[in-house]
Structure formats: structure tokens, C-alpha cells
Chains A and B, each alone.
Chain A
Amino acid sequence: MEVIDSGIGEVRLSDVDEAREWMREKKSRKLVDKVTDEKTAVERFVHDGAYLSYDLSSMVRGPMSLEREIVRQGRKDLWIAAKFTLLDTTLLLAGGCLSKIDVGFAGLGRTLFAAIEEGRIKTIDWSNGTLALRHLAGAMGVPFLPTRALLGTDTFRRSGAKSVRDPFTGKTVCLVPAVHPDVAIIHVNQADRYGNARVFGPSIAPLETAMASRRVIISTEELIDVEEIRRNPGRTTIPYFVVDAVVVAPFGAHPGTVPGLYTYDAGNLDEFFAARDDAAMRRYLDKYVYGVSSHQEYLDLIGADRLAALREAERIREGYYT
């Protein structure tokens, strides 16, 4: 296949057979209880220098209790896939955890943009769609997938994509390499203790992200029985053998929303947005991340009344729980 052009972005390539062998050796097919807490899951599966991927964002069904734990444990040098990211990059950056961002959407917040402008963090620009596609390639166990996006732009040039001549038709097509994240963190509505997980509502790429990743931590609003999974298998998004840990995290997406279950905490988000420099961001982290030792303590700090009000304020359940 003739390579026409190549992007210059750094890509960490994985060998497809090595990835397969990992899935054979490290992903038990046994039904074993994987329930644990944020602290243990992050200690075991999120290492310094890891490539990290999450699904959706800080605003909507994001794995916020896990992100806060990663910051609390002071992970360093993470490389993340920012596909449909909002505050996540800012939070991890403020915690000193990030060194590289594969950018779909870089995120929001002055501290993030300042860090990029000052060269304190490396960006590799892709697009939301091509990052999602790279996870699909990883999930399929193929080395790359074709797309008709990126072509002709600086986004292509800064990415790690290649354009080639399609061997079937002769047209130019773009290829994006598979990504196999070291660890995925995915917040779901319901899961059983083995890891069978249900996502309700639209989303980015929960299954692709889980299947592509070497380690998968699921945080769940609710722990349900495997019998309930078996009674309605069409609702399972991610099957158990893909999953390494299950963390029970009610309000795990706070201050974001879990659609159909609770709405955003607008006041808390405003506090986050108001932190426009490193000192203010540090105060936010001191209060909500370093000042507590667990997700339960975090929820106590937010307060049961406030959480109940967020649940009350989410009026729409249609399509999620009905």
C-alpha cells in the first residue's frame, strides 16, 4: 500500500499479537468478584507514565471519583485520550498528573490553556472522531482503521495518521493507528460484581474504550445482581471478562450529571470554572480532592441534602430507567 503522506505526531504503537496475548493471559474468564474501592483500584491499575482513557466527560457520566483519586494519589506523567473531554484535562493537569494529551477536544479552563501556551504540557492534535476510531481499532484487534476525515489539514499533519492509496479503488484514504490504553476508567449506571456493566443513554465509546484497554476500572452508580443482568442481557454494554475492577460509586460523576439519575451541581461547577489560575485551582483541589481521603468523605463534604436535591432536580428518566 503506497503511503502518500504521514503525520508527525508521536504515537505509541502496540503490536496486535502482543495485545491479544495480554487479553488471553490477564483477563480472566472466571466469574470472580471484582468489587473494590477507588483507592485500591487506582493503586493497582493506574501507574505513572500510563496511557489513560475515559469515557464521556467531567460534565456527563464522567468517572470523577476515579479522576479525583488519581490526583489524590499523585500519579505522574499520564498520557491521555481527550475525546469529548471537558474539565477532566484541567483537573488532572492541576493535580500534576499529565504530560501529554491526545487532543480531540482539549478541554476547558484557563489553567489548561495557559499550560499549553507556556509549553508545560505536550499536545498531539487529532479529532474526537479519529480518537474514537483509534479505540475501535484497538477493540477490534486490528492495527489501524481507515477514515475519510483529517485529510488535507494541519490536524492530519500534527497527528500520527497516514494517508495511503486505497489498494482496491486507488482513492486516497486516511489510516489511524489502534490505541491500546494501559488503563480505562468508565463510569456506568449499573454493574454486577463480576463487571457486567450497563450504560444508559447516548455516549462516546464505552465498549470500544473498554475492549481496547489493558486494564479497565468500572465505577458504577449501582451494584446489581448478575441475575438481573441475565434477565435483560440486551442492556449490557460491557461484558465482565473485559473488566478488571468494579468500584461502587454513587454520585461518582459529581459535579457532573448522570442523565436520568441526577443533574449537574451547578454551584460546584462554578467554583471549578472560577478557579482561573494555579493558586485558585490549588484551593479547589485542597478542598475537594486532597482534603478528603475517599469518595465517601467527598460525598459527606458535598452533603446528603444537596445530593438528594440533585437527584430530585433530574426530572427526565424516560429512556434511561424506563
Chain B
Amino acid sequence: MSGASFTDTEFMICLSARSIEDSSTVFVGYGMPQIAAILAQRLYAPGIVQVYEYGAIGPDVATPFRRNMMADARNSRRSFAWTTMNPMFAYASAGFIDYGVLGAAQIDPFGNINSTVIGGTYERPKVRFTGSGGGNEVASLCWRTIILTEHEKRRFVPTLDYMTSPGYLDGTEGARERAGLPRGTGPHRVVTSIAMYDFDPATRRMRIVGTREGCDAKAVCDAMMFEPLVADRVETLAAPTADELRVLREDIDPDRVVIGRA
């Protein structure tokens, strides 16, 4: 949103940082998810254990954040353990990983996400993205998935061009378990630049639970290509605090590699 004293990315990072419980294990990837986890550690949940697909368990990630730092010495320092990818996804599959934090190019009403192709055909897509990476494993195997995405209308589609990673699949009761995915897993929150959603337990559809100041549920719905559910009580999502912005801008990402400039 223009005119704000913080960026959309800062808003999403702060919201997700506040929604991760202390002393939980969090599967994160490069960029926004990683910075959200670091911010949470610094301000709210010092006991968070960051877990990376490249084999680091619980690093005390060095800041300032640098471009390309994924898997380097500053990313990995002071971990509890260093291992490799197969054991990392085994921890997730065995039930040890509480949260996964993922981005999405497209998302549907049941929290399924696309990070592979948009438009055209699979063989000749209009736009190609990086693909799953470890996203499919994270969305399949972690207990709760938090999905972060910029709020653009075209990203919220009734039907994905391609389902890279699973949410609640077709939304029917038990769909994940029937497909063979671990029981009791699935998307937990969707955090965007203007709203926060949970998933209605009865229908497994995205449900607005909060909106950014100056933005009501109707404005959020107008900026989507499907109609989400709206919770009985929609809270106003607090803007990033001065403390959060100071830690983000002075300590974690002073070069504004991920958070950008307001």
C-alpha cells in the first residue's frame, strides 16, 4: 500500500513473526520466511528452532542478512546439528517439525499453492518459476503451514494453473489423509500484505480473520478472484511496531535486501 511508513514485506514479516509459537521447530527457506523467523527469535520467541532443508538445525543466523546467504557459514553458524537433506525431511516426516513457512505465486481457496508454472502449457508455460524446491515436502509433512504472499488479485485463484504443494486439496473432509498425506497436517494461516486468513475447520476454506488498518473484509475480497469466508469477528491487524521496524531495518536487513524501502 502506498503512503505507509513500512513496506508490504515488512508487514507480512511482522505478522508471521507474531504468529509462531515459542520453542517450536520452523522449516524455513531463503528470504521472507527466514527473516520472519529471525525477527520472531529476536523479539517474541527466542526458543524458535529454525530448520533448513540444506541440513542446518537451529542455527543462530548471523545478521545483517546478505543476498545469496542460503546455506553459507553465516546462515549455518552455531547450529545444534549439521546434517543433510534426507535426514531433514525425515525429521519433518517423523513429526518433529511444527511449522513450515512458504511463499506462493498462486493460492486457491483450500490453501493449495503454485510455484511452478502459470499460463500456457506445462511444456511451454507463459511464466516459469523455480518449482517446488523443498516446498512440497514442507507443505506435506510439517504440522502447520504458514503461507506468505503479496496481495495481488491474480494470485488468489479459484483453480490453480498447477498445484505444486498441497493445502487441503479438494477441500473435502479427510482429503489429505485419503491422498496419503500425514494426518492432522495442513495450512494454518495465510498472511498477505492486507489480510490474514485461517482455514474454517468445517469447510477447510480460507477465512479472513484480520485486515490491515484502512482495509475491510470487502476490500480484501474485492482483491481476490474467489470469495473467501469471513470470520464473525475480523480484527484489525496491527501495523509493524517501532521496535519491529528498528530490529528489521537496523539489525536484520539494513541493506534492505528482502524488506525493501518504504
Interface residues of A (CB under 8 A from B): 56-57, 59-60, 83-84, 103-108, 113, 116-119, 122-123, 125-130, 132-133, 136, 147-155, 158, 163, 171-174, 201-208, 257, 259-260, 263-264, 266, 269, 314, 316, 318-320
B71–A118 CB distance below 8 A: no
Interface residues of B (CB under 8 A from A): 52-56, 62, 67-68, 70-74, 76-79, 82-86, 89, 93, 112, 116, 120, 122-137, 140-141, 160, 162-166, 169, 175-176, 178-182
Residues of chain A with a CB closer than 8 A to B164's CB? 125, 153-155
With CB as the reference atom, state the residue of chain B lying closest to A259. Answer: B73
B52–A202 CB distance below 8 A: yes
A84–B181 CB distance below 8 A: no
A149–B128 CB distance below 8 A: no
A83–B140 Cα distance when bound, in Å, is 18
A107–B137 Cα distance when bound, in Å, is 18
Residues of chain A with a CB closer than 8 A to B71's CB? 56-57, 59-60, 84, 202, 259
Contact among A148, A172, A202 with B140 in the assembled complex (CB-CB below 8 Å): A148
Distance in angstroms from A274 CB to nearest chain B CB is 13
Number of residue pairs spanning A and B whose beta carbons lie under 8 angstroms apart: 195
Contact among A84, A122, A314 with B73 in the assembled complex (CB-CB below 8 Å): A314
Given that A149-B89, A149-B141 are known contacts, is A173 also in contact with B180, CB under 8 Å in the complex? yes
B77–A316 CB distance below 8 A: yes
With CB as the reference atom, state the residue of chain B lying closest to A103. Answer: B131
15 interchain pairs, CB-CB under 8 A: A104-B134, A105-B132, A106-B131, A125-B116, A125-B164, A126-B132, A128-B137, A147-B93, A152-B180, A202-B52, A202-B71, A204-B55, A259-B71, A263-B73, A319-B79
Distance in angstroms from B62 CB to nearest chain A CB is 8
B77–A318 CB distance below 8 A: yes
Residues of chain A with a CB closer than 8 A to B176's CB? 152
A139–B188 Cα distance when bound, in Å, is 36
Given that A153-B164, A202-B82, A319-B82 are known contacts, is A60 also in contact with B72, CB under 8 Å in the complex? yes
Given that A154-B164, A202-B55 are known contacts, is A260 also in contact with B86, CB under 8 Å in the complex? no
A206–B84 CB distance below 8 A: yes
With CB as the reference atom, state the residue of chain A lying closest to B176. Answer: A152
With CB as the reference atom, state the residue of chain A lying closest to B170. Answer: A152
Given that A148-B182, A316-B77 are known contacts, is A154 also in contact with B162, CB under 8 Å in the complex? yes
A151–B169 Cα distance when bound, in Å, is 10
B54–A104 CB distance below 8 A: no
A208–B55 Cα distance when bound, in Å, is 14
Distance in angstroms from A191 CB to nearest chain B CB is 18
Residues of chain A with a CB closer than 8 A to B124's CB? 117-119
Central interface residue in B120, B126, B132, B137, by most chain A CB within 10 Å: B132
A203–B75 Cα distance when bound, in Å, is 13
A151–B165 Cα distance when bound, in Å, is 9
Distance in angstroms from B29 CB to nearest chain A CB is 10
Residues of chain B with a CB closer than 8 A to A60's CB? 54, 70-72
Residues of chain A with a CB closer than 8 A to B73's CB? 201, 257, 259-260, 263, 314, 316, 320
Contact among B52, B133, B165 with A153 in the assembled complex (CB-CB below 8 Å): B165
Contact among A104, A133, A151 with B181 in the assembled complex (CB-CB below 8 Å): A151
A259–B182 CB distance below 8 A: no
New A-B contacts (14) at CB < 8 Å, excluding given A154-B162, A202-B83: A59-B68, A103-B131, A105-B134, A129-B137, A133-B89, A151-B140, A152-B166, A152-B169, A152-B176, A152-B180, A155-B163, A163-B180, A204-B55, A316-B74
